[in-house]
């Protein structure tokens, strides 16, 4: 018996990185998964891989910042699998810059994907989760939503907002059987961080910083974050709602 047997999950930003690892783990634990990504080919590849591993998955190409796309991705999951129990709002962008250097376009895109995208997907998914008997909404926030980092103003702003949105949504839907939590990953070894790493001087410059600033001295893996998402999606966390689960190798503990 898997921890998500009989459950249907939507994972956004699931074409790579944390989202891909989460979609694969959810499927391995018995969930039927809608793999959502802006890049349709990446979503198809991920869903195909899950099916080849014996799981059930469909691919949905969607821009979570567009209301019509957010509504469609939820309805495609329900149409394919008959219900919805878990929403993992994982899609995100990381566009560097301070408030005086970031372009208005990059600022607005960051807010649209990281924050409005989570709002829109939740808006359309929560009624379906309630209809299905309850379940879990998980936002991917960040350690940068708890402790600020230089040169990523828009990212910090949106991830901090997601932490508070998590707490607010948890109150609104607690009596409807919908738990709402977020994950706050630290430095995770995926291509998502490449824009910041490049501006900092490349991976060679990153390693001494990680050794000095991160108590465990290393980046995490997407699979380690996926395990946290599984905990929040499953009945293992049946009494947990409104919580920001930090997965950062001790970065914010200092």
Query: What residues act catalytically?
Result: 155
Token reading at 22: 């989460």
Token reading at 155: 């990212």
| Alpha-carbon separation of residue 132 from 9, 17, 85, 170, 228 (angstroms) | 12, 29, 6, 18, 23
3-state DSSP helix/strand/coil % of the chain, to nearest 5: 50, 15, 30
Token reading at 11: 């994972």
- Interacting residues of 228 by C-beta distance below 8 A, sequence separation 6+: 183, 245, 247
- Interacting residues of 239 by C-beta distance below 8 A, sequence separation 6+: none
> What is the helix (H) or strand (E) element at residue 60, kind and residue range?
strand 56-61
Distance CA 68, CA 135 (A): 23
Cα angle for residues 35, 115, 220 (degrees, 5° grid): 60
Token reading at 220: 């995490």
β-sheet bridge partners, residue 30: none
């Amino acid at each position: 018996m898997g921890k998500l047997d009989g459950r249907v999950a939507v994972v956004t930003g699931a074409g790579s990185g944390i989202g891909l690892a989460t979609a694969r783990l959810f499927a391995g634990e018995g969930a039927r998964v809608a793999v959502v990504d802006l890049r349709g080919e990446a979503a198809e590849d991920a869903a195909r891989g899950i099916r080849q591993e014996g799981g059930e998955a469909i691919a949905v190409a969607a821009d979570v910042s567009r209301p019509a796309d957010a509504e469609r991705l939820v309805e495609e999951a329900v149409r394919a699998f008959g219900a919805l129990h878990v929403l993992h709002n994982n899609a995100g962008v990381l566009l560097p810059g301070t408030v005086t250097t970031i372009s208005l376009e990059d600022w607005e895109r960051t807010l649209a994907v990281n924050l409005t995208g989570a709002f829109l997907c939740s808006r359309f998914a929560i009624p379906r989760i309630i209809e299905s008997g309850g379940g879990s909404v998980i936002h991917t926030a960040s350690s940068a939503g708890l402790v600020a980092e230089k040169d990523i103003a828009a990212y910090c702003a949106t991830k901090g907002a997601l932490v508070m949105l998590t707490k607010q949504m948890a109150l609104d839907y607690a009596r409807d059987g919908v738990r709402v939590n977020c994950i706050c990953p630290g430095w995770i070894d995926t291509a998502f961080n490449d824009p910041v790493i490049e501006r900092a001087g490349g991976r060679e410059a990153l390693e001494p910083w990680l050794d000095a600033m991160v108590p465990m001295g290393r980046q995490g893996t997407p699979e380690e974050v996926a395990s946290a998402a599984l905990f929040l999606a499953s009945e293992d966390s049946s009494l947990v709602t409104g919580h920001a689960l930090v997965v950062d190798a001790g970065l914010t503990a200092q």
